[in-house]
Structure 1
Amino acid sequence: MRWKTLLPLFFVFIAFLFFGAWIFKTLEETYHVPGIRIEHDLEAVIVAIARRVNSSVSEDEVLAYIEAARTGRFPMSQNGTTTAYHMDYFDAWFFCITFITTIGYGFITPHTVGGKLFCIVYAFLGIPVTLIMLTAIGRKLGDTNRWVEKKVQKKLPNYPGRIRAVTLLIVVVTSVGIFFFVPAIIFTIVEGWNFLDSLYYCFITLSTVGFGDFVSSVHHESSSYFGFVLYKVILFLWIMVGLSIVAAVFDLIQEALRGLKTRVNRNMKDLSVDHFGHLVSRVHEEGGKGLGKITDITKSKMKKQRARTSISRKNKNPDEETASDGMPGSYVAQEW
């Protein structure tokens, strides 16, 4: 997939997010149990109950407060009536992001019939589009790494395996540093977590596990609303680019494993069935000596193959007398 195709797909994805957030916000505000969200903090629940002891708190109200701590919502009552629930639009937008990327923190969940049905339909449409887009971006980023690898291999043609291993190591180390360690430092400052918790959160997020025990940008009371929205946008970019980089790394690892499998199969074909069966019995009888014999024969065959290839390149039409070992009938035609 070309970048010209990916760009419109990305804009469709963004529009899908904003539209989904509006639908989800509308459904949940209409039918959701009234309340405003607070932290999952048992101490806050105890303080809230203690302040209402003089008004004879009933058992049902205590249970309601405990349930509020579990669900993250704090019921309020004004003159015997409950206040209307209001969901922030960018909370709904961030929920849609974590939903269709399959992260699924669980800090916001649908509690209405309409919201649950919407999530089912939204998942069927959004998750495949997101996975296709992330996979395509990951492959394009992997193509960039392969282009660099080919440039290096032209200058060092004798070490293709080592070059691939080194480039893959560089990509992995750089990706981990930029998308795991650097954000972890930022989260320690912004969210107030320790470094281990921040690094844990980065891994859980970009691996799409999404336990939900740590969720960034849940509250914005301590900052301006503009800063709150900007922070969510930055988080969105980090998640999308990070998931694309992870997809690119997986694509490169799969390609390296396929190349390793091809080389192993090629080396195994150099051993004839008769030789292999005979040498396996030698391994059984003589232990390490038989295994060494297999290695010696493999090296010998590979050396002869390289010699035949070198001679065939120097002589466009070599005859039997100019074959690699100088014996009639020993020439093997090369396929170009």
Structure 2
Amino acid sequence: MDCKILSIMCVGLAIYLVFGGVIFHFLEQPNESETRQITRDTQFEFLRNFSCVSNEQFEQLIQTVIKAYDQGIIATNSTDSASNWDVAASIFFSTTVVTTIGYGHISPATSGGQVFFIFYALFGIPFTAIILGGIGGQLLKLRNKLKEKALKGNTKQNEKTKNIVMVVAVIVVGLIIFVFLPAILFSLVQQWSYGTALYYTFVTLTTVGFGDYVAGIDTNISGFGSQVVYRLFVALWILMGLSWLAGLLSQFQDMLESRIEKNADKILNKNEVSAESENKKEHSNNTSSTELSTVKSTNM
């Protein structure tokens, strides 16, 4: 990519980041302030109703609950909830590591686990990226083959229309398979609203992975076997969904870069033509001045 184009894109990214930060600030800070106030009021009310509990004891209880939550243990059901480190849950965790989603709902707490994680991630992340890119590439090849068959023997106008239809079809089918249908399952199993489930699918497949919602935790599924199958399904969904999205984003990136380069070339060519026109005009003026001087000297 040309340095000038890259510079323009960097400035655009900076503006985009500032824009996002300002919008999130105004949307989220009032809610945070309200939550802080509710938390303070709840703490005060508890200590007033249970005067036998000191403020230090209450703080110690809160710290214990927070520490447990940081390790993926929900204090309200810690005795009967499924383990976060059974085989299925550990495979799900490994999936979030190599795909760089990193929900943050659980993390290695032992020294051995932390050391193993470093080497596991160093090899697993690039290896997975290559595989996902390869699968995405194969999906694009399949789309291109279908497009060639659909466009065979058509005029340029029909080709353009069918090409747009093909791209839209790939997007819509992918959204149905990897976003809308899984969101229905998540809303039923996790007892989320459908809007929350859609939010989770988007956060996951874009690898943002906030960790505020995580499939496989606190479900209404009973039975160890069913929970194992569900968690393995979520891991498979993540891998396949990321492959689809990788191919889609690659295509959009190519289209965007092509459009930016075309527009940049137009601007650069326009500037060059303008500069060339100015040079010709200046040269013409200089020539006229020279001719006028020659005529004057001849008359003298």
| Fold shared, TM-score > 0.5 on shorter chain | yes
Task: Return the alpha-carbon distance in structure 2 between the equivalents of residues 74 and 270 of structure 1.
Answer: 62
Task: Return the alpha-carbon distance in structure 1 between the equivalents of residues 229 and 240 of structure 2.
Answer: 17
Q: For residue 172 of structure 2, what is the amino acid of its counterpart?
A: V
Task: Return the alpha-carbon distance in structure 1 between the equivalents of residues 160 and 261 of structure 2.
Answer: 12
Quick check: 1:139 aligned with 2:149? no
Task: Return the alpha-carbon distance in structure 1 between the equivalents of residues 183 and 74 of structure 2.
Answer: 30
Contact 1:101 1:130 in 2 (8 A): yes
Greater fraction of residues in helix: 2
User: 1:261 deviation in Å?
Assistant: 6.4
SS in 2 for 1:109: coil
Contact 1:153 1:163 in 2 (8 A): yes
Task: Return the alpha-carbon distance in structure 2 between the equivalents of residues 151 and 265 of structure 1.
Answer: 34
* Unaligned runs of at least 5 residues, structure 2: 1-38, 76-82, 281-300
Describe the shift of the 1:258–1:105 C-alpha distance in structure 2 as closer, same or farther (beyond 3 A): closer
Describe the shift of the 1:151–1:74 C-alpha distance in structure 2 as closer, same or farther (beyond 3 A): closer
User: 1:259 deviation in Å?
Assistant: 5.5
Q: Residues 97-156 of structure 1, C-alpha deviation per residue, up to 9 Å, x if partnerless?
A: 111111111111122322222221111011011111101100110111111111222221
Give the aligned partner of residue 109 of structure 2.
111
1:1-336 superposed matches below 5 A:
62-71=58-67, 72=69, 73=73, 87-159=85-157, 160-219=159-218, 222-257=221-256, 260=259
Describe the shift of the 1:263–1:57 C-alpha distance in structure 2 as closer, same or farther (beyond 3 A): closer
CA RMSD, Structure 1 to Structure 2 (Å): 3.9
Describe the shift of the 1:152–1:221 C-alpha distance in structure 2 as closer, same or farther (beyond 3 A): closer
Describe the shift of the 1:173–1:220 C-alpha distance in structure 2 as closer, same or farther (beyond 3 A): closer
Describe the shift of the 1:234–1:59 C-alpha distance in structure 2 as closer, same or farther (beyond 3 A): same
Contact 1:217 1:232 in 2 (8 A): yes
Q: Residues 167-186 of structure 1, C-alpha deviation per residue, up to 9 Å, x if partnerless?
A: 22221122122211111112
Describe the shift of the 1:60–1:111 C-alpha distance in structure 2 as closer, same or farther (beyond 3 A): farther
* Unaligned runs of at least 5 residues, structure 1: 1-41, 76-84, 282-336
Describe the shift of the 1:259–1:140 C-alpha distance in structure 2 as closer, same or farther (beyond 3 A): same
Task: Return the alpha-carbon distance in structure 1 between the equivalents of residues 199 and 151 of structure 2.
Answer: 37
Contact 2:180 2:198 in 1 (8 A): yes
Contact 1:68 1:74 in 2 (8 A): no
Task: Return the alpha-carbon distance in structure 2 between the equivalents of residues 276 and 171 of structure 1.
Answer: 45
Task: Return the alpha-carbon distance in structure 2 between the equivalents of residues 153 and 200 of structure 1.
Answer: 36
User: 1:163 deviation in Å?
Assistant: 3.3
Q: Which has the higher contact order (CA 8 A, sep 6+)?
A: 2
User: 1:188 deviation in Å?
Assistant: 1.4
Task: Return the alpha-carbon distance in structure 2 between the equivalents of residues 263 and 157 of structure 1.
Answer: 24
* TM score, norm. by length of structure 1: 0.56
Give the aligned partner of residue 7 of structure 1.
none
Describe the shift of the 1:90–1:256 C-alpha distance in structure 2 as closer, same or farther (beyond 3 A): same
* TM score, norm. by length of structure 2: 0.62
SS in 1 for 2:107: coil
After TM superposition, the structure 1 stretch with the greater mean CA deviation from structure 2, 66-75 or 171-180, is 66-75
SS in 2 for 1:210: coil
SS in 1 for 2:152: helix
